[in-house]
Amino acid sequence: MADPRITLALLNYNTTDELLRALAAIPAALGDIAARIVVIDNASNDDPAARIRAACPAAEVILNPVNLGFAAAFNRLFSYAVTPYYLLLNSDIVLPAGSVGAMLQTARALPTLGLAGVALVREDGSAQTAYGRIPTLASELLNRSLWRRLTQRTAPTEPFDVESVIGAVLLVPRRTIERVGGMDERYFFYMEETDWCKRIRDAGLRVMHFPGISVLHLQ
């Protein structure tokens, strides 16, 4: 295989049924793009290793002896696999055909990109929240849905800068790891991607939303 251009990494914790659906969609999502596929398992008890290897022999499996949480588990990836891009995925993300190529094509045109998210949709096609602002006192005190309606207007169709993205899908260039490092492992689950986005922006790189690329988020 040609040198991989991207590592697709999926994080699993007792969600192997959903993970297998996600893995089944990856070949069509990649097309002819050379990639590494890595599953990071946080000590699941639903027999993940055998099921993953049977369903997707190309996948590399990292079995953590304990549940490390979101940040620490994904941080292991950046020394394990060195590729120009990383696509960090929740285990319940189903990528549509050709989506990885679309992400890479968009990212390569943005030399100061530090991290990008994409549009997230439910199985009925309805949109989910995919990006937001760094939390403030107002955003935490107001009803969350009301705050979003007051602060988030109709999004453009071209990629645009945001303060933070939802961590279900994170496209990360290697330059980000080299300049900023990984996520802060003091966050076990929730808010680690928000903190990372802030650090990436503080380092002079862009955090962006790609509205023209939609993926299925089973939640």
User: What is the percent of the chain where pLDDT is above 90?
Assistant: 68
Mean of pLDDT values over 8-29: 94
Joined together, the tokens standing for residue 95 give 């990528």
| Residue with the larger pLDDT of the pair 143 and 28 | 28
99-108 and 16-30 helices, crossing angle to 10°? 60
Q: Report the pLDDT value the prediction gives residue 139, as an integer from 0 to 100.
A: 59
Global pTM value: 0.90
Give the chain's end-to-end CA distance (angstroms, integer). 33
Q: pLDDT, tens digit, for every residue of 88-147?
A: 999 999 999 999 999 999 999 999 999 999 999 999 988 888 888 776 666 566 655 565
The backbone torsions φ and ψ at residue 37, rounded to the nearest 5 degrees and listed phi first, read -115, 120
Partners of residue 173 on adjacent β-strands: 85
Joined together, the tokens standing for residue 201 give 């922006």
